[in-house]
Structures are given as structure tokens and as C-alpha cells.
Amino acid sequence: MKTGLFFGTFNPVHIGHMIIAQYMLAHSDLDEIWFVVTPHNPFKEKRTLLDDRQRLHMVRLAIGDNVHFRASDIEFSLPQPSFTVNTLAHLEEKYPERKFGLIMGADNLASFHKWKNHEAILATCNLYVYPRPGAKESRFETDSRVHKIDAPIMEISSTRIREAVKNQKDVSYMLPKDVWEYIDKCGFYKA
């Protein structure tokens, strides 16, 4: 079983995330996608994040009954901040029957050399890379373990969605319906 790990703060999860995940499933050798909700990305400030469990709940709402997608809280019980190499080691030990791969944008591939123990990550799993606007070239692009998937370019961002909600703009079509209704009902991102 090949499992694609789609890491993110998902603050909030939006249709761009869902389109990329579905495209990766359809156009790669991955059998399933796990949305790994990151409590604290070392490259982002934690104070801007909605509560971990709220973000996990929104990912579950977005996934609905899709049997090929799973929301994962695996990083909630690991030391903070979360580092992919540590999470991978934990997952490989817990699920030895699975072969894990990382799903990332081309912008992340360009900065992959800055990741903690990036060589160890590349030694144990393949990278599935989707295009991102303005992404710089990476020295890893020609590596046989890097699979560039020509997915649609998504210019929707969680940051833009949060700013639009704060400014009382309608973003209902940028989010899965259940996620938008939950955000609206709870009043998230308005302040």
C-alpha cells in the first residue's frame, strides 16, 4: 500500500488542497492520501493557527466519506515543533506494511535542502511534487525519487481565505461546503 502524506497546517483546509490530493491519487502510483494536520510548522508562527482539533475536524469534514483519504493527528502526540523526518520515522515504525511518500508543492522542493535531515527523508520515501506559482528550481528535480505531477496550479491560499473572512468577503466557493458552514457557524477568522 502506497500512502501519500500531505502535510499542512490546513488553517483552513480549502478546495485547492482537495483538488491537489484527488489529482495526486488519480495521476500517481499512490493508493491513498493522508492529510497530516501539523500542530506547529517550524517555518510558521504558532499564534496564527486555529486550535489543532478544530483544524483536524475541518479536514475530516472536507474528506467526508472518501475512503482513499484520511485525516491524521499523528503529529499531535509528537514533540513540537514538528519535523517531517521524525514523523516519518514514527509512521514507518507504526505501519511497517506501508510505503510512504511525501506530497509537496514545488516551492517546498526548492527549500527542501533546509529541512531537518532531508537526506534521510529522501532515502526512505519518494516525493510527489505539484507545481506552485513562482517556485524556484531545485537541485532535487532530477532525482529519481522525485515525481513531478503536472497537477493544476492552485492559487488559493489559506492566508487569503483568512484575510477575506476577516474582511467580511464571501469565500464560500473556496472551501468544501461543510468546512465553510463550520467556519461561518463558529465565527472563525473574523477577528
For residue 4, the surrounding DSSP H or E stretch is strand 2-8
Helix, strand, coil % over all residues of the chain, rounded to 5:
40, 15, 40
Tell me, which fold does domain 2-154 have in CATH?
Rossmann fold (3.40.50)
Q: How far apart are CA 109 and CA 128, in angstroms?
A: 10
pLDDT for position 41: 60
CA quadruple 73, 127, 154, 31: dihedral sign: negative
In Å, the largest CA–CA distance within the chain is 47
Q: Phi and psi at residue 129, in whole multiples of 5°?
A: -110, 130
Residue 81 has pLDDT above 90, yes or no: no
The torsion defined by the Cα of 6, 12, 14 and 17, in degrees rounded to 10, comes to -10
Over residues 103-158, the pLDDT tens digits come to: 999 999 999 999 999 999 999 999 999 999 888 999 999 999 999 999 999 889 99
Indicate the pLDDT class of residue 50, thresholds 50, 70 and 90: very high
User: How far is 140 from 113, CA to CA, in rounded Å?
Assistant: 9
What pTM was computed for the model?
0.93
Q: pLDDT value at position 46?
A: 57
Distance of alpha carbon 102 from alpha carbon 87, whole angstroms: 11
Following DSSP, what letter does each residue of 89-130 receive, concatenated? HHHHHH-TT-EEEEEEEHHHHHTGGGSTTHHHHHHH-EEEEE
Cβ(58)–Cβ(38) below 8 Å: no
